[in-house]
Amino acid sequence: MAQHIAELCTLLVDDLYGNLSSRVFATLVRVGRLTLGNVAHHSGLSARQVKHGLVVLIQQHLVLHSTQDSVTHYEANVQQAYALVRSGKIIKLVEDRFGEAAGGIVSNLLLLGHARVKDLAEAYGVSKKHGLNGAQVNGNASLNTEEKEKERTGSQHFKTLGQLHKELGRLLNEGFLKEVWPVQFKPEADVQTEAELIVTRDQYKGGVKGTKQTVQFNEDVRALKRKWRDEGADEDRANGQANGTKPARPVSKRVKINKYAMNGMSGHANDDDDLVGSLLDEELIVRVNIDRCNVAFRSQQLVEFCSRYISESTAMVYEALLQRLETKIERCHDLLVIVKDEIEERETAPLVTLLEVSNALDKNVDLAAGLWSGNDNQTSSAGSNGNKTNNYEDEGYVEEEDSFQVNGSHRADQLTARDKMIHIKSHLQLLCDDPRRFVTWVGSRGGGEYRVNFRALTSSLIQYELEKSVTARFGALATRLVRALHTKGKLDEKQACNICLVKQKDIRVHFAALQEAGYVDTQEIPKDNSRQPSRTIYLWSFDQSRCRELVLHDTYKAMCKLLHRMKVERRRYKAVIDKAERTDVIGNEDRYLTGMEKQTLSQWRDSEEKLLTQLSRQDELVTLFRDFPMPPFEP
Amino acid sequence: MSRGGRGGFGGRGGRGGGGVGGVDIPAWDPELKLDNYNKPSELFPPVKPPLAAPPTRQERTQVARYRALRDRIHEGPLYTVLGDNVRVKKPDQPKVKISYNPFNSTQTYTAKYTRKARAMPALDTRPYIICFFPVELHSTLDRSMGKTSGSSTMPRKVPRRRLQIDKSTLPTLEELEAEEQRRNLRADDSDVEDVGDEDEEQQEQEEDDAFSEDEDDENNDYNAEQYFDDGEADDYDEGGDDGGGYDY
């Protein structure tokens, strides 16, 4: 089954970085961990080609490497390669939240892999020594480019170094960008081995004995790995410092970055000043943080889920709440933190207060929409603001009677602070009362403290998606069966009939089809040792995680086929595409392309858009099935 | 063979349709409608494929962003096309560089305008953070590092190393749509009207420049000449092997 994800990643690398890179990548995915010579051998490329290919891949974090005894092994980074398909979404997400300039930064960083802040500033043409440097080295040609650059500063994102640093600081602070350390280029297995070696050397010289010590040892190794992941490793590894005092949660990184941002804030008081001191460390190396983006995608899907079941305006409140929480969550699931049981998870979960939500809420949300306001005629139908005011004009007589609605519009900026709080509180109450438990009330500090149980919510989201796919493939009755099995556990045929209120013979067909596709399974329980079929109970069961894996791999396969299809389609339109990409045609399309050709081109663009849209929809499923679920508890 | 004790397998009578070997077999039910069970089913029955919903605005923007990024990677120095002429190296094979396929097409004049496919990434056009790469790749990243300084060749012109990024604003979906619409309109028009009005065309082009960012080299920091025309293609031949360097 892993072949599909391997193929998919290779296709993505091929689509973005071309044949040479994808060929090297495909070899690494297919064969596994290899040295340079072996890559050349297995791929049929020359050593020089392989070296160039590897450089590209390492720069984009698509290949990991580790050197031991002067032999370097390379390994494909499948996670990162898969994330290529998400690049469009990531850019859009950051653009929506932080504005276009931030979107530009993120798209440039996706283009570059990682980059030093200094180089980035120079490329943006805002670095301090920029004017001198460029002109001297390259003479006339570059002078021209400098002039051109100056001409178009109007449309440019950043005019000063301060602006660039401020934006970068903001993104770092929010976690969408992260610092790059050498340890991020190491394969997971090597990091593990190295951490084990160091921990053994420092703390367990006599070896690890007994189960109790093994547990402690594993915890120490995880702590060291956490430390490397969150703070970088170099100095620590030199000292071999891995003493027992470890932070429960990685906090130091955030503190450090916060510090950067603080500098940024203080320096940024005078915005127009071109020569503000370097606000961020110039040598800081940054890249896009995929984990953090996944957290944001999770919020998006949950908000959509909420708006499906409750209402738009409640969903807006929920969005504000989740975005506040996001700043306290670094990744959807942390494999380096073992959670023993639900209680521990509940205690460590981040909290958010009503006050925070109220501050984060968009001013234009119509808070009264979707809430019952004390009069049946007035139950607002979650309409937009414009509609609402019209309604009030029509039903003027109601306004006079109803004291609650006298204010007219209930947009957040027109409400008094107290009313706003009451409204938000009732929205949160709705979220608490929903059977899916979108939020949980914890205490009354800060006007009310709330927590989100992501584990349970992810599970119901997954269930929802699975049911959707079952409905599409097998019909509504099959979904009813699956739902019954999910809520009641294992059932035999008669019980299933009773619960679903259908005849036995009706459900047999569906069970058979579902079993064939792998969605449900039977378990046989013999009543005695003879195992006769007549004396055996057959129970039908539905396993969400198994089913999830099944659909996930189907999704990978479907994505592969979409990319293949794209290639085939492109070949069909190749002549026209090639013509449109000719250097003399670009910019003069109207002169050189005939009407027919333009039509063909737009046909091609449309069909590619359809395929890419479908690809990104499939990707949403993958995010849900692969990135959101948390690992099971480990007692 | 049989250990007996079972009064014959075919014995269905007796206890009112009891079943085989004690297992309850459901009686024949005409409602099950298994009438055409014996007929061969149609080999390829007509299937209506499910149609996906048209993309929303959000999705269209995402796709536009993905495409823009991809186009920029393709224009950049790291994109490579090996093409049909890539081969596994054999020592006795002569060194050939084929940039077109003689069986499919003849070389035309306009071929000089086609975008040159790069067989090897142009690595020396941007700065790298050397410590992130393994030692054996350092010489690939920076060719001056691997060589011993003893071989006194001509001092090479140091290429200007800068990151190539896009500084201009990304077009919004509205702009993209407007452009597309305009294009389609033009496509319809140009069937009818003859190409003549130079002024109007000029205007159209200017408008085009204003917001078509992805097809606009002027607006980009990427400078194609820098990669091809710096007379450095020869340096790549140090390995002396196949189809490396640039394709011309």
pLDDT 10s digits, A408-449: 455 556 677 788 888 888 999 999 999 888 999 988 887 889
What would the mean pLDDT of A338-346 be, rounded to a whole number? 84
Q: What is the pLDDT of residue B238?
A: 42
Q: Would residue A283 count as lying in a domain? A: yes
Ordered alpha helix ranges (H), A340-453:
342-348, 354-360, 385-394, 396-401, 417-433
Residue B137, chain A, CB below 8 Å: the answer is yes
Query: Band of the pLDDT at B20, cuts 50, 70, 90?
Result: low
Burial degree of A238 (CB within 10 A; 0-12, 13-18, 19+)? exposed
Q: How far apart are CA A35 and CA A16, in angstroms?
A: 24
- Write out pLDDT tens, residues A83-106: 999 999 999 999 999 988 899 899
Query: Band of the pLDDT at B84, cuts 50, 70, 90?
Result: low
Nearest to B244 among A18, A48, A148 (CB): A48
Q: How far apart are CA A98 and CA A212, in angstroms?
A: 48
Query: What is the phi/psi pair of residue B127, to 5°?
Result: -75, 150
Which of the pair, A2 or A623, is modelled with greater confidence? Answer: A623
Burial degree of B233 (CB within 10 A; 0-12, 13-18, 19+)? middle
Q: What is the pLDDT of residue B143?
A: 67
User: Domain span at residue A43?
Assistant: 2-83
Q: Is the pLDDT of residue B210 over 70?
A: no
Query: Band of the pLDDT at B223, cuts 50, 70, 90?
Result: low
What's the structural domain count of chain B? 1
Handedness of CA A551, A556, A561, A566 (dihedral sign): positive
Structure tokens at B105: 């097409």
Q: Would residue A235 count as lying in a domain? A: yes
User: Domain span at residue B107?
Assistant: 57-122+222-239
Are A268 and A302 within one domain?
Answer: no
Are A301 and A420 within one domain?
Answer: yes
Q: Would residue B6 count as lying in a domain? A: no
Are A234 and A198 within one domain?
Answer: yes
Are A298 and A336 within one domain?
Answer: yes
CB contact under 8 A, B62 and A616: yes
Query: Band of the pLDDT at A374, cuts 50, 70, 90?
Result: low
Q: Would residue A315 count as lying in a domain? A: yes
The candidate with the shortest Cα–Cα distance to B226, out of B120, B138, B141, B126, is B126
Burial degree of A343 (CB within 10 A; 0-12, 13-18, 19+)? exposed
- Domain limit, last residue, from A83, A101, A133: A83
Distance set, CA A333 to CA A338, A342, A453, A626, B37 (Å)? 10, 14, 13, 11, 51
What would the mean pLDDT of A526-532 be, rounded to a whole number? 88
- What is residue A64's three-state secondary structure? strand
Q: Is the pLDDT of residue B239 over 80?
A: no
Are A573 and A596 within one domain?
Answer: yes
Interface of B with A in 40-79 (CB under 8 A): 50, 52, 55, 58-70, 72-74, 76, 78-79
What would the mean pLDDT of A163-192 be, rounded to a whole number? 90
Q: Would residue B71 count as lying in a domain? A: yes
Q: Would residue A205 count as lying in a domain? A: yes
- Domain limit, last residue, from A264, A288, A312: A288
Structure tokens at B49: 């494929």
Interface of A with B in 409-428 (CB under 8 A): none
Which of the pair, B245 or B40, is modelled with greater confidence? Answer: B40
- Write out pLDDT tens, residues A288-334: 999 999 999 999 999 999 999 998 889 999 999 999 999 888 888 88
Are A277 and A300 within one domain?
Answer: no
Q: What is the pLDDT of residue A282?
A: 81
Q: Would residue B89 count as lying in a domain? A: yes
For an interface test with B, the pick among A51, A86, A118, A149 (most B C-beta atoms closer than 10 Å) comes out as A51
For residue B242, the 8-state DSSP code is T
Q: How far apart are CA A465 and CA A462, in angstroms?
A: 5
- Write out pLDDT tens, residues B101-130: 666 667 778 778 877 778 888 887 888 888
- Domain limit, last residue, from A256, A288, A320: A288
Q: Would residue B65 count as lying in a domain? A: yes
Which of the pair, A392 or A478, is modelled with greater confidence? Answer: A478
Q: Would residue B117 count as lying in a domain? A: yes
- Write out pLDDT tens, residues A274-285: 444 447 788 889
Q: What is the pLDDT of residue A520?
A: 93
- Contacts (Cβ under 8 Å, ≥6 apart) of A16: A84, B69, B70, B73
- Write out pLDDT tens, residues A31-89: 999 999 999 999 888 888 899 999 999 999 999 999 988 899 999 999 999 999 999 99
Q: Would residue A108 count as lying in a domain? A: no
Q: What is the DSSP string of B117-169?
A: PBSS--GGGS---GGGS-HHHHHHH-HHHHS-TTS--PPPPPPP-------SP
Q: Would residue B143 count as lying in a domain? A: no
Which of the pair, B67 or A415, is modelled with greater confidence? Answer: B67
H/E run at residue A576: helix A574-580
Q: What is the pLDDT of residue B25?
A: 64
Residue B101, chain A, CB below 8 Å: the answer is no
Whether ipTM > 0.85 holds is: no
CB contact under 8 A, B162 and A584: no
- Contacts (Cβ under 8 Å, ≥6 apart) of A559: A8, A85, A615, A618, A619, A622
Q: For the domain that residue A495 is a member of, what is the CATH number? A: 1.10.10.10
For residue B6, the 8-state DSSP code is S
* Torsion region of B158: left, alpha or beta (phi above 0 gives left; psi -120 to 50 gives alpha): beta
Are A564 and A616 within one domain?
Answer: yes
What's the structural domain count of chain A? 5
Average pLDDT of the residues of chain A: 81
Residue B132, chain A, CB below 8 Å: the answer is yes
Residue A120, chain B, CB below 8 Å: the answer is yes
Q: What is the pLDDT of residue A552?
A: 94
* Inter-chain contacts counted by CB atoms under 8 A, chains A and B: 255
Residue A558, chain B, CB below 8 Å: the answer is no
Q: Would residue B105 count as lying in a domain? A: yes
Q: What is the DSSP string of A280-338?
A: S-TT-EEEE-HHHHHHHHHHHHHHHHHHHHS-HHHHHHHHHHHHHHHTT---S--TTS-
Structure tokens at A86: 């998400």
